[in-house]
Amino acid sequence: MEHAARRLSRLAAHLQEQPEADDVSKYSSEQAVAEVAGLCPTVVQVPVVGGHAGATILPLLSQMSPSFSLTKQETDYLTNRIQNGGTEVVEAKAGAGSATLSMAYAAAKFANSCLRAMKGESGIVECTFVASEVTELPFFASRVVIGRNGIEEYLPLGPMNEYERMGLAKAIPELRASIEKGVHFVKK
């Protein structure tokens, strides 16, 4: 067991060149889409890319599975709900906490994926905020394929609709500023 824990720790460290997975946004998005569509959240998959705060969180609703049409109003509602889900929880708790259950769930799902990868399962896709070349930014939350030795492949963003392209254009300057602030903090 200790050997597995050490391997998991090394794999997680390799996978997470930044200290947080972005699965919280991903699972929140799947819950929100499931509510709108009347589906079970376990059958919904929504890629969420970008960052982990407000407008930097970009749900790629055009790539969700199962695929179905959304009105502009539904797209606006879901995007807002996904981008501000953490804030909603903090406000609901009157500032006395955060989305701890969502974070714990995301961490457990990510750890489970790491364990499956360590056992040799292939094709495991997770969203995580890592150093990458998916965009012009040095760090970006996107889908990656993980395996025994960590990240095996950085998946492209894929086709985005105009709404998502505009969201990405809006997110990049904010993300760039946050990344620069983080890099500056680490160098202190």
For residues 131 and 144, give the distance between their C-alpha atoms in angstroms, rounded to a whole number: 11
**Residue 45 DSSP symbol:** B
Neighbouring CB atoms inside 10 A of 84's CB total: 16
For residues 47 and 65, give the distance between their C-alpha atoms in angstroms, rounded to a whole number: 9
Pull the structure tokens for residue 121.
Answer: 């399962």
Of the candidates 139, 120, 181, 122, the residue with the CA atom closest to the CA atom of residue 21: 139
Pull the structure tokens for residue 56.
Answer: 């930097």
Helices (H), the chain: 2-15, 23-37, 72-83, 85-92, 100-118, 162-187
Pull the structure tokens for residue 1.
Answer: 């067991």
Of the candidates 156, 150, 153, the residue with the CA atom closest to the CA atom of residue 135: 156
Q: Is 14 a catalytic residue?
A: no
For residues 106 and 24, give the distance between their C-alpha atoms in angstroms, rounded to a whole number: 5
Instruction: Give me the active site residues, please.
Output: 52
